[in-house]
Amino acid sequence: MTQNRKIAILISGRGSNMLALMDAIESGRLDAQVAVVISNRPENQGIELAKSRGYTSVIMPSQGISRQQHEQLLIAELKWHNPALICLAGYMRLLSPEFVQTFPQQILNIHPSLLPAFPGLDVQKQALDYGAKYSGCTVHFVDEGCDSGAIIAQTVVPILDQDTAKTLADRILVEEHKLYAGAIQFILNKNWEIIGRRVLATKN
Ligand code: GAR
């Protein structure tokens, strides 16, 4: 049986990480197929870009309904597409434990800091305000906590004296675009195991 290499991409906004994944797939650097792009916000740039590139695109507004109702709809949609992985790409909602447990070790996120430093929001400002000299980006499994799942891949980005939150975010984003596809490929290839919190390549 051929291996399931479908991914679902969940976005909330601009969609530049989503586009980087599509570019990686279309250029053969990532052996995967985009089953569906789902946005929890209507009329954002990301979902328009996904549509214009011909990808199956679904808007599932999270406003105006309860978290539970929204997640039930999301779970039904995702199960229908049956992706191997659910890749959060600028998806700005916390997922409930029930949601996470529905897709064990199948949800990945990219986060613009070197976790476990600076989880949550406004993380580039957090890193600057703290006086950190390095930040970066992290791809990790999503667990029941906030940005607390096992780390799959990271890239370090130096913080410069003249940085603002915006300039730092821009430089980290360049690295995010390179990091995510490789991390997804690694997980799809299944040659890994989790020991404790460590995601390790298995020896063949
Ligand atoms: C990216 O920097 C991503 O790491 C971050 O939002 C941005 C989305 O940009 N995600 C989070 O902060 C998740 N907690 P994009 O829509 O252009 O990919």
In a domain, 10, yes or no: yes
Supply the range of the domain harboring residue 58: 6-201
In a domain, 1, yes or no: no
Biggest alpha carbon distance in the chain? 54
In a domain, 49, yes or no: yes
In a domain, 149, yes or no: yes
Active site residues: 111
CA of 166 to the centre of ligand 1 (A): 13
Measuring from each residue's beta carbon to the nearest atom of ligand 1, which residues come in under 6 Å? 11, 13-17, 46, 89-90, 110-112, 173, 176
In a domain, 83, yes or no: yes
CA of 1 to the centre of ligand 1 (A): 35
Q: Cβ atoms within 10 A of the Cβ of 40, count?
A: 20
In this predicted model, what pLDDT tens digit does every residue of 95-147 receive, in sequence order? 999 999 999 999 999 999 999 999 999 999 999 999 999 999 999 999 999 99
In a domain, 73, yes or no: yes
- The pTM of the full predicted model, rounded to 2 decimals, is 0.97
In this predicted model, what pLDDT tens digit does every residue of 190-202 receive, in sequence order? 999 999 999 999 9
Q: Whose CA is nearest to atom 8 of ligand 1?
A: 90
CA of 190 to the centre of ligand 1 (A): 25
In a domain, 123, yes or no: yes
Domain count, the chain: 1
What pLDDT score was predicted for residue 1? 63
State the Cα–Cα distance between residues 22 and 16, nearest whole angstrom: 10
Q: One-letter amino acid identity for 142?
A: V
| CATH number assigned to the domain comprising residue 16 | 3.40.50.170
Instruction: Specify the DSSP class assigned to residue 40.
Output: S
